[in-house]
Structures are given as structure tokens and as C-alpha cells.
Copies of this chain bind each other. A is one copy, B any other.
Amino acid sequence: MTVPDFQRARSAAAKQLRESTILAAARTLGAEQGIRQITLTDIGEAVGMHKSAMLRYFETREEIFLRLTADGWREWSTALRARLEELAAPTPPAVAGVFASTLAARGLFCDLLAQAPLNLERHVSLDAVRAFKLVTLAEVDAIAAVVQRLLPGLTERDCVDLIAAATAVSGAFWQMATPGPEVATLYRSDPRLAHAVVDVEPRVARLLVAMLEGMLA
């Protein structure tokens, strides 16, 4: 290896390390308080970098969170597929339950799922959108293949629809279920608003069981 090659490698490794540090800080802040309010400055403070230095690694705060969304898809997909493979009897309630519990256990991912098409994808470069979409489409294919093997009565389109529905409702219901402390107090204090409180996991599970049973009928 010549010296310039070595330097390039070292510099690429250093860049990757710095990126990972920024992503980890954004993940921690996002998991604590939702990504809504988190600015580039907040993330910079957490890693001890000035905002202008951060821009060497990511174009915008949205690019950071879109990268976390892609990471979230990979991580959820791996966990979901492992749990599905372990099922003794892959019935619709069992499969729906694994989808619902793995999604409900990932609050930051649910937040990102709702934010990505509304906010994140709209403030990044086309290359960043392309890279993000290729990750999600590959994970959807991987999940669909496992679901179709476990429930052979489903078509490939059924499986893609199921994954689209599971992620869309989990994102939306998570937003409704975490409305901020003042509104949460309001919901608890006014009995007319009792139904405004959404319990994400059981509702997602019920919807997906019904959907799977209908698709298989």
C-alpha cells in the first residue's frame, strides 16, 4: 500500500467513525424525546462538534434522521425475521403479534417511519433518497419472502401490502400515542377524550390479524 492509499484509507475510516458517532448521538437524542425538536446544533453539542463541521458529514439534520430510518429498517427487519422463523406455528395471530410487538418496542423507528415521507425525504439530496429507498425496498423483499414461506396462501403482493400497512399504522398510531405531556394530561382528565388514547401494540395486532385472515380466506 502506497502512502496516499494508506492516508485515504485512514481518512475514510476516520470519516466513517465520525459519522457513526454523529448517528449514535442523534439516535440517543431521538429515542429520548422524539426527533421533532432535535436540531443539528443539538446533535453537534452532544458530540462536541460545531454545526458547520457536522455539515462535512451530513447535508442536513434530515439526512441524519433518514440514515437512522434506513438503519432502523435493517435492524427491525433482522429482528422480525428471526422472531418469525422461531414461531412454532405461524398462524395469522402469531405472525401479526410478532409484527406488532417488534414495531411497538421500537418507538424511535415508529417516529422515523411517520417522519420520513412527510419531512425527512424532502430535505435531502436525490442520492440520499435513492440510497434510503433501496434499503427499504430490499428489507421489504426480505421480510415478504419469510412471511410468504410461513403463510404460503399469501401472494407476494399480499405480503408487501401487509408490510406497508404495518409500518404505516405503527408510525401514525405512535404519533397519536405520544402527544406531548400537556395533551396526554388533557386526554386523561376529560372523560369525553378517553378514546383519543391509542394503545399501539394491541390495535396494530388486531388490524394485522384481520388483514392476514382476510387475505388467506
Give residues in A with beta carbon < 8 Å to B.
36, 92, 114-115, 117-119, 121-122, 126, 129-130, 133-134, 137, 140, 157-158, 160-161, 164-165, 168-169, 171-173, 175-176, 179-180, 182-183, 186-187, 190, 192-193, 195-196, 198, 203, 206-207, 209-215, 217
Contacts and interface: CB of A to CB of B under 8 A. Distances in A.
**Chain A residues touching B, majority SS:** helix
A34 to B, nearest CB: 10
Of the candidates A114, A118, A130, A137, the one having the most CB atoms from chain B within 10 angstroms of its own CB is A118
Contacts of A206: 157, 161
Contacts of A140: 195
Contacts of A173: 164, 168
A185 to B, nearest CB: 9
Nearest to A117: B175
A145 to B, nearest CB: 14
A191 to B, nearest CB: 12
A195 B137 contact: yes
30 contacts: A92-B214, A114-B114, A114-B118, A117-B172, A117-B175, A117-B179, A118-B119, A118-B175, A121-B179, A121-B183, A122-B179, A122-B180, A126-B182, A126-B183, A126-B186, A130-B186, A133-B187, A133-B193, A137-B192, A137-B195, A140-B195, A164-B203, A165-B207, A169-B169, A209-B214, A210-B211, A212-B214, A214-B215, A214-B217, A217-B217
